[in-house]
A = this chain, B = another copy of it.
Amino acid sequence: MTREHADLTEELEIPSIVDIPEDLEDLALGDDYALNPEYVELVIDAADRGDDDRLRELVGALRSEDVADLMGFLSADYREQVIPQLDPETLGEVLSELDTNLREEIMESVPSTTLARALEEMDSDDAVDLVEDLEDDKRAQVLAAMDHEERDAIVSALKYEDESAGRLMQRDLMAAPSFWTVGQTIDHIRSSSDDLPELFFDVYVIDPAHKPTGAVPVSRLLRANREQPLAEIMEPVTEIDVGMDQEEVAYIFDKYHLISAPVIDSGGRLVGQITVDDIVGVIQEETEEDILALAGVSDAGRDATIWGIARSRLPWLAVNTITAATAASVIGGFQEEIGKMVTLAILMPIVASLGGNAGTQSLAVAVRALASRELNASNALRIVLRELGAGLISGLTLAAIMALAVYVFFHDPKLSLTIGLALIINLFIAALAGVLVPIVLDRLGRDPAVSSSVFVTFLTDFMGFLSFLGLAGLILL
């Protein structure tokens, strides 16, 4: 969890925030909440003059997220002047917000002790994200420079798999036995603020075996009677297994509208908590991965060099070269027909293109339905049949349109019949492939977004050429 200006122990800092001239904050962001280019100029001017006080003032007027944006606009030299002006807490928050490339670059340039201080200020889940990105030797240096308690938290989190609940969770949380009263709990919170997370939304109620049995939202704790035991006001919790995939965690948060949830180990003991603000990031990440995977971009990573981009696109294009060539080879079997009637070569891509588009439509809907679990074993057959019905309607409609258009242009009723029938066949195939391919991939335990497109467009290209040219051979020649 990241949150700005939040540590209670740093009350002294707050007046400085209030002192910032109002105009600076107004100047910083445009109407679209993006950093104003003029503000970047102010920073560059101050850096050119070597005016560290002004730099500190300018950066101080920004929220961490906007400082991160600022870093994206500055060259490495300017960045190196700005970074020393950040306090450890802000530095940690800024690093959390940066793109992987820039983050790695900056972390390598920041001294290990500075980085260690920044990591100590962060929640363990955010700190782990940063430590992961460090080169091995730098990582060892930074961890050695850290306070042992925070270091242990990071080292043990790193043992969990990437994209698992164990990585997402923070270890700091507020837990209380069920026999405690509201008053006891509040007094405990007041007296032990050091061990608690900066912000928390639920008090987890645990049994003697340290297993979570319920949760009390903080606002409810505030309103309840001091004498009431927690057991009386707690609500049931949804436990998250520490090894659960983050996509699954996001699904549960979304389904049950959770704000926070306890994470348990294999023995059912409470080991951490996940909060909804981390989940928002996961949802963005997972749907972005789906969009890119459907479009055939193999790596959603943010390696944004020209070579990195080409590398993320070429694998699927290479596969597509093979499938497109295979589909096109069908045409090779009908060279005689095309030689007799070149019009066939004009019309065949239309059949393939419409099939491809219809298949992509079914596919996108099916992939989303699988991701949101609206499509599952209990209704798969019904949904497949519905898609086929809709595919038939689309096929009949487009067949009528194209048959008419072809008649207008070529005055050949047989040619109209050929393209009409081919479209009906291909749009039926498109609907079938568009919904079945992702379902089958999902059953096989593969991500249905990743390789579905290539199958579906191959099938619609192949069947588009085959049905149209095959029917042409039967009907026309």
Q: Which of A291, A347, A378 has the most CB of B within 10 A?
A: A291
A47 at the interface (CB under 8 A from B): no
Provide the residues of chain B in CB contact with A6, threshold 8 Å: 217, 220, 235
Provide the residues of chain B in CB contact with A365, threshold 8 Å: 292, 295, 297, 309
Contacts A325-B350, A325-B405: A296 and B361 contacting too (C-beta < 8 A)? yes
Whole-angstrom distance between the Cβ of A428 and the nearest chain B Cβ: 13
Contacts A280-B279, A291-B290, A398-B318: A306 and B222 contacting too (C-beta < 8 A)? no
Provide the residues of chain B in CB contact with A279, threshold 8 Å: 280
A140 at the interface (CB under 8 A from B): no
On whether the beta carbons of A219 and B236 are closer than 8 Å, the reply is no
Q: What separation, in Å, do the CA atoms of A236 and B65 have in the docked complex? A: 14
Provide the residues of chain B in CB contact with A254, threshold 8 Å: 280-281, 284
| Closest partner residue, chain B, to A423 (CB atom) | B321
Interface residues of A in 327-386 (CB under 8 A from B): 327-329, 331-332, 335, 338-339, 342-343, 345-350, 352-354, 357-358, 360-361, 363-365, 367-368, 372-374, 376, 378-379, 386
Q: What separation, in Å, do the CA atoms of A398 and B325 have in the docked complex? A: 12
A136 at the interface (CB under 8 A from B): no
Provide the residues of chain B in CB contact with A8, threshold 8 Å: 220, 223-224, 233
| Closest partner residue, chain B, to A15 (CB atom) | B232
Assembly of this chain: how many copies?
A: 2
Provide the residues of chain B in CB contact with A17, threshold 8 Å: 236
Contacts A201-B219, A221-B222, A284-B287: A14 and B232 contacting too (C-beta < 8 A)? yes
A390 at the interface (CB under 8 A from B): yes
Whole-angstrom distance between the Cβ of A196 and the nearest chain B Cβ: 8
Provide the residues of chain B in CB contact with A290, threshold 8 Å: 291
B251, B346, B386: the one within 8 Å of A331 (CB): B346
On whether the beta carbons of A346 and B364 are closer than 8 Å, the reply is no
Q: Interface digits, A161-177 against B, CB 8 Å rule (1 contact, 0 not)?
A: 00000000000000000
On whether the beta carbons of A364 and B324 are closer than 8 Å, the reply is no
Q: Interface digits, A156-195 against B, CB 8 Å rule (1 contact, 0 not)?
A: 0000000000000000000000000000001001100100
Contacts A3-B257, A280-B254, A349-B327: A387 and B309 contacting too (C-beta < 8 A)? yes
B1, B309, B338, B361: the one within 8 Å of A342 (CB): B338
A475 at the interface (CB under 8 A from B): no
Q: What separation, in Å, do the CA atoms of A186 and B226 have in the docked complex? A: 13
Whole-angstrom distance between the Cβ of A60 and the nearest chain B Cβ: 12
Interface residues of A in 397-435 (CB under 8 A from B): 397-398, 401-402, 405
On whether the beta carbons of A34 and B373 are closer than 8 Å, the reply is yes
Q: Interface digits, A181-217 against B, CB 8 Å rule (1 contact, 0 not)?
A: 0000010011001001001110000000000000001
A42 at the interface (CB under 8 A from B): no
| Closest partner residue, chain B, to A33 (CB atom) | B252
Given contacts A11-B233, A329-B346, 17 further A-B contacts (CB under 8 A): A8-B224, A37-B378, A65-B257, A196-B223, A199-B220, A201-B219, A287-B287, A295-B361, A295-B363, A304-B386, A307-B390, A310-B389, A320-B353, A325-B405, A328-B347, A349-B461, A353-B461
